[in-house]
Amino acid sequence: MSTMMIRRVFVNGAKNFVRSGSVTAATVLIMTVTLAIVGLLIFLSAILTNTLTAIKDKVDVNVYFVTTAGEGEIISLQNKIADLTQVASVTYTSREEALISFKARHATDELTLQALEELGDNPLGASLSIKAKDPGQYEGIVQFLSDNPTTGADGKSIIDRVNYFQNKIVIDRLTGAIRATEQAGAAIVLLFALASAVIAFATVRLAIYTAREEIAVMRLMGASNAYIRGPFIVAGILAGVVASFIVLTLFYPLSWYAGSALSSWLGGFNLFSYYLGNFALFFSILTGSGFLLGGVASFIAVRRYLRV
Amino acid sequence: MIYFDQVSKQYRDGTPALENVTLSVSPKEFVSIVGHSGAGKTTLLKMLLAEEKPSAGNVFFEEIDIHGLPKNALHHYRRKIGTVFQDFRLIPTKTAYENIAFAMEAVGRRDDEIASDVPYILDLVDIGDKAHHFPHQLSGGEQQRVAIGRAIINQPDVIVADEPTGNLDPVNTYDVIEILKKINELGTTVIITTHNKGVVDAMNKRVITMDKGKVVRDDMHGHYIL
């Protein structure tokens, strides 16, 4: 198709969009609802991810060392653990820091502090707090520790205990719950996105159905299929893009209101901040979806009436 | 120029629309096809426009079997034929000017050609003062003139008009027929289907009479006999 014909396709598409009045309004309205659902799914996904991340952050495994373990040996083990691909972070707590923390926790417990005083020496060992990238990976990390025992100068293991086994049931249940929630979330997002796409498709098809006789006449006038189809695709894309702009505009005051109203309920997650911080993501997904939905739906719908 | 060679058409439910029709139309002829509703007139035109395929037989246009043309060549073939319908079938979102211009745009004519030809044709069909009216702002007769303008703008070899006066009052009927006669006199073949006895008789041109899918009469200077 020549540049002249492409320009005509765009001009005719834009004119169709503007002049089709109620048909255009209905298409844009349905597309707006569809894209609003897609946008809400992005928010839902973010809330879910944020909540799950907060829960995941609360899960860790602590390795407690015997009091005779040397700091060098512990730091060496910390580095080995940090190199594991499953590990997100490893935090070292020295004997002294453990003692200060213990005293702070029991500042009002006179009896415990007095007992500690009478011991004379620091009875607490150093520890490593390990956070895995995924809660399901703790078992592998603990396995690494048992496969690579670290011994001190006396030949005995410097690890006193690992609290994974006592927390295993809780971690396993949490891991299962997180996975199930993620899968359910993805399924819901997919289902709603699919349902909205089907509704948008049906609307565009209906809009083009009203123009079926026009298409037939264009064919009889000798217009090529590409030249007939082009303006409908342009009008469909315009409907999708205009709808996406409406949704992006509506989300500004809505997320502002919801952000302040729901922040405490969502554990500090502010929808308005998220919207502003991820505007490029919203813009690209919504505008891209509108563009694709409008374009592809028009392409398919017109094809039906171009068959000889 | 146009040759229907033993063409038959049967619809899916078994109803015969055309039975063994053989006829030819020469260049510059004015042919009226008459017959009762369901006689096969419109089916015959649809065959010529490659909208319907025959169940048997062939339709030739300038020695080309039109139903043997590949799909991507059909639009080139259809550019040789201008079409006029009883219900006008103008594009509702385009003005009278744009409806006629569309036919030129579709075949890839340049903007300057469109700018010079469309006003000429609008004046020819006597609708120049309503060039920027949309179809719903025009009367039936005015819409049909726009439709004729659209059909002739690309100077087709043949004008096919399916009941072009069916929705018009006597005055507009007369005007439309006069325009079609003028087009024919300028050298374009015209084929119309009609129920209008007055039109056919006044024309004194070739009349093909159809009944139950068959050609029952073919008179060079015929009358409406049913």
Residue A196 belongs to some domain of the structure:
yes
Residue from A218, A220, A232 whose CB has the most chain B CBs within 10 Å, to mutate: A220
> Mutate which of B75, B80, B136 to test chain A, going by most A C-beta atoms within 10 A?
B75
Looking at residue B29, its pLDDT comes to 94
Q: Could B108 and A217 be called an inter-chain contact, meaning their C-beta atoms sit closer than 8 Å?
A: no
**For chain A, what is the radius of gyration of the CA atoms?**
31
Nearest to B75 among A5, A15, A223 (CB): A223
Residues A82 and A229 in one domain: no
Residue A188 has a pLDDT of: 84
Determine, yes or no, domain membership for A166.
no
Whether A295 has a pLDDT exceeding 80, the answer reads: yes
B79 is written with which tokens? 């550019």
* Nearest residue to A289 (alpha-carbon basis) of A39, A122, A7, A75: A39
pTM metric for this prediction: 0.72
Tell whether A24 is covered by a domain.
yes
B86-104 pLDDT tens trace? 888 899 889 999 999 999 9
Segment A62-75, tens digit of pLDDT: 899 988 888 888 99
**Boundary of a domain, candidates A112, A128, A157:** A157
Test mutation, B80, B91, B107, B114, chain A, max A CBs within 10 A: B91
Contact between A244 and A22 (Cβ < 8 Å)? no
**B219 with B30: CB under 8 angstroms?**
no
Least confident of A126-135, A142-151, B110-119: A142-151
Which of B178-207 are b and which e, b meaning 16 or more Cβ less than 10 Å from the residue's Cβ?
ebbeebbeeebbbbbbbbbeebbeebebbb
Q: Same structural domain for residues A185 and A293?
A: yes
My answer on whether A249 and A297 are in the same domain is: yes
Task: Classify residue A92: in a domain, yes or no.
Answer: yes
Average pLDDT over residues A121-135: 88
Task: Identify the band that residue A186 occupies on the pLDDT scale cut at 50, 70 and 90.
Answer: confident
Residue A227 touches partner B, C-beta closer than 8 Å: yes
- Contacting residues of A for B54, CB less than 8 Å apart: none
Regarding whether A153 and A82 lie in a shared domain, the answer is yes
List CB contacts (< 8 A) between B77 and chain A. 222
Q: Do A224 and B75 touch (CB under 8 A)?
A: yes
Distance from CA of B13 to the nearest CA of A (A): 20
Strands B56-61 and A61-65: unpaired
For chain A, the domain total comes to 2
| Domain's final residue, options A157, A183, A198 | A157
Measure in Å the smallest separation between the Cα of A304 and chain B Cα atoms. 15
pLDDT at A268 over 90: no
Handedness of CA A107, A113, A116, A121 (dihedral sign): positive
Asked if ipTM goes beyond 0.95, one says no
- A 201-220 near B (Cβ less than 8 A): 213-214, 216-220
Q: pLDDT at position A233, please?
A: 93
Beta bridge partners of A62: A129
Q: Render pLDDT for A15-46 as a digit per residue (tens, 0 to 9).
A: 989 988 888 999 899 999 989 988 988 888 88
Could you tell me if residue A107 is inside a domain? yes
CATH code reported for the domain at B28-39+73-219:
3.40.50.300
Nearest CA to A9 out of A213, A223, A180 is that of A223
With a cut of 70, say whether residue A308 has pLDDT above it.
Answer: no
Q: Note whether A262 and A215 are same-domain residues.
A: yes
Residue ranges per domain, chain B? Answer: 28-39+73-219
Contacts of B74 in chain A (CB under 8 A): 308
Q: Which residues of B touch A221 (CB under 8 A)?
A: 78-79, 83, 102-103, 106, 150
Residue A212's pLDDT is 85
Using alpha carbons only, give the angle A105, A110, A112 rounded to the nearest 5 degrees. Answer: 65
Q: Does A14 touch chain B (CB under 8 A)?
A: no
Nearest C-alpha in A relative to B77: A222
Instruction: Give the list of residues 6+ apart from residue B224 with CB closer than 8 angstroms, or none.
Output: B34, B196, B197, B200, B201, B207
Any idea of the CA torsion for A13, A14, A16, A18, to the nearest 10 degrees?
Answer: 160
CATH number of domain containing A143: 3.30.70.3040
Domain annotation covers residue A229: yes
For residues A81-106, give the mean pLDDT.
Answer: 90
Name residues whose C-beta falls within 8 Å of residue A62's C-beta, 6 or more positions apart in sequence.
A127, A128, A129, A130, A162, A163
Cβ–Cβ contact A224 with B under 8 A: yes
Mean pLDDT across the stretch A117-129?
86
Do residues B132 and B97 lie in contact, with contact meaning Cβ atoms separated by under 8 Å? yes
State which residues form the domain around A39.
Answer: 3-55+175-306
> Do A34 and A126 fall within a single domain?
no
Q: Residue A228's closest chain B neighbor by CA?
A: B106
A62-66, A225-229, B74-78, B220-224: lowest mean pLDDT where? Answer: B220-224
Do A142 and A26 share a structural domain?
no
Residues A41 and A78 placed together within one structural domain of the fold = no
Per-residue model confidence (pLDDT) at position A56: 73
pLDDT band at residue B83, thresholds of 50, 70 and 90? very high
For the cut 90, the answer to whether the pLDDT of residue A307 exceeds it is no
Q: Of A110, A127, A157, which residue sits at a domain end?
A: A157
